[in-house]
Amino acid sequence: MHRFHVVHWFLVALVAGSLAGYRGAAEAQAWPTKPLRLVVPYVPGGATDLVSRMVAEPLGGALGQQVVVDNRPGATGTIAFDNVAKSTPDGYTLITTADSLTLLPSVFKNITFDPRTSFAPIALMSTQPLVLAVHVSTPAASVKEFIALAKAKPGTLTFGSSGLGTSQHLAGELIKKITGIDMQHVGYKGGGQAIIELSGGQVSAAVLGSSTVIPQMKAGRVRILAVTSKKRSAALPNVPTLAESGLTGFDVYQWTAMLAPAKLPKPLIAKLSAAVTGVLKQPAVRAQLEAAGFEAQAGSPAEVEALIRDGMDQWGRLIKELKIDPS
């Protein structure tokens, strides 16, 4: 090829690249021009739903468009994740995820998305410990008493979680393994449904996000025996950790993050990430999250990407160790 043609095509490519970058920046500046949909893959009332609703309204204010929370429960969130993964990457469809997303490939054989490649991470939003809680009729006021009760009645106690293959479910299975107790798992379509069942006494115990359980504890319907994180929760300073209760080294916590479909243009990722981070810095939002048992945790797309990658590795190893067969 002649030198003239080489230079010519180089200039064409350079100009085309510049125009594409300009268009992307211009589109990001104009966006959004209509309401955004924030999908929650679980029923209302659970931890992921609570964080979504606390962030949605101020995020809409920051973006100049309403952010509508859309609950799409079912199949431990896989239905919602599949739907969002296949959505147009234009910034108008987002999803709030808990750390349970990272367990799904190890728990379900035929999921149609990959947590590492099917989504564009936007921002980390919060963290919180899980709790081991019992219905007030369950005759156990401590983890030690609960273990003794379970051993005295093997196979008769039940524990609820926000669904099969969630971090709550696996935390419960890990408690069973470490203590040697036998209790039956009951999976629901989210923490909101699970806490209703626990409050009504349909299950003996539950492992759920602290924010889901605290209101029912205050109402006198459930009793929180321990938190699952290595440190006590600021929202529950008088509640011991499982490690303090004899389960040495136990450390499980839940994080919540916002994702979009993969291939969302980088200027939109940057704009959304900055908006979410700004919302989480608002004193009123932080206070609301903390009062509910969350810790506001703004984090970059790269940090969310690392959490997903590391979570898949860690939970994958635990699932193999617990010998949980994919369904």
Looking at the structure, tell me whether residues 138 and 283 fall in a common domain: no
User: Which residues, given as ranges, of the chain have pLDDT below 50?
Assistant: 4, 6, 20, 22
Looking at the structure, tell me whether residues 222 and 133 fall in a common domain: yes
Answer with the one of 211, 227, 243 that is the final residue of a domain.
227
Q: How many domains does the chain have?
A: 2
Looking at the structure, tell me whether residues 117 and 138 fall in a common domain: no
Task: For residue 20, tell me if it sits in a domain.
Answer: no
Looking at the structure, tell me whether residues 121 and 265 fall in a common domain: yes
Say which CATH number the domain at 189 has.
3.40.190.10
Task: For residue 67, tell me if it sits in a domain.
Answer: yes
Write down the pLDDT at residue 99: 92
Task: For residue 246, tell me if it sits in a domain.
Answer: no
Task: For residue 77, tell me if it sits in a domain.
Answer: yes
Looking at the structure, tell me whether residues 175 and 193 fall in a common domain: yes
Looking at the structure, tell me whether residues 62 and 139 fall in a common domain: no
Secondary structure in 3-state letters for the chain: CCHHHHHHHHHHHHHHHHHHHHHHHHHHHHCCCCCEEEEECCCCCCHHHHHHHHHHHHHHHHHCCCEEEEECCCHHHHHHHHHHHCCCCCCCEEEEEEHHHHHHHHHCCCCCCCCCCCEEEEEEEEEEEEEEEEECCCCCCCHHHHHHHHHHCCCCCEEEECCCCCHHHHHHHHHHHHHCCCCEEEECCCHHHHHHHHHCCCCCEEEEEHHHHHHHHHCCCEEEEEECCCCCCCCCCCCCECCCCCCCCCCCEEEEEEEEECCCCHHHHHHHHHHHHHHHCCHHHHHHHHHCCCEEEEECHHHHHHHHHHHHHHHHHHHHHHCCCCC
Looking at the structure, tell me whether residues 167 and 88 fall in a common domain: no
Task: For residue 200, tell me if it sits in a domain.
Answer: yes
Task: For residue 181, tell me if it sits in a domain.
Answer: yes
Domain with 302, as residue range(s), is 28-127+254-322
Say which CATH number the domain at 291 has.
3.40.190.150
Q: Per residue in 217-238, pLDDT tens?
A: 999 999 999 999 999 998 899 9
Looking at the structure, tell me whether residues 122 and 155 fall in a common domain: no
Query: What are the CA-CA distances from residue 281 to residues 55, 123, 297 (Å)?
Result: 11, 13, 9
Looking at the structure, tell me whether residues 37 and 114 fall in a common domain: yes
Looking at the structure, tell me whether residues 123 and 32 fall in a common domain: yes
Looking at the structure, tell me whether residues 57 and 117 fall in a common domain: yes
Looking at the structure, tell me whether residues 114 and 143 fall in a common domain: no
Write down the pLDDT at residue 293: 87
Answer with the one of 175, 192, 227 that is the final residue of a domain.
227
Task: For residue 2, tell me if it sits in a domain.
Answer: no
Answer with the one of 227, 245, 273 that is the final residue of a domain.
227
Question: Residues with Cβ < 8 Å from 274, sequence gap 6 or more?
Answer: none
Task: For residue 245, tell me if it sits in a domain.
Answer: no
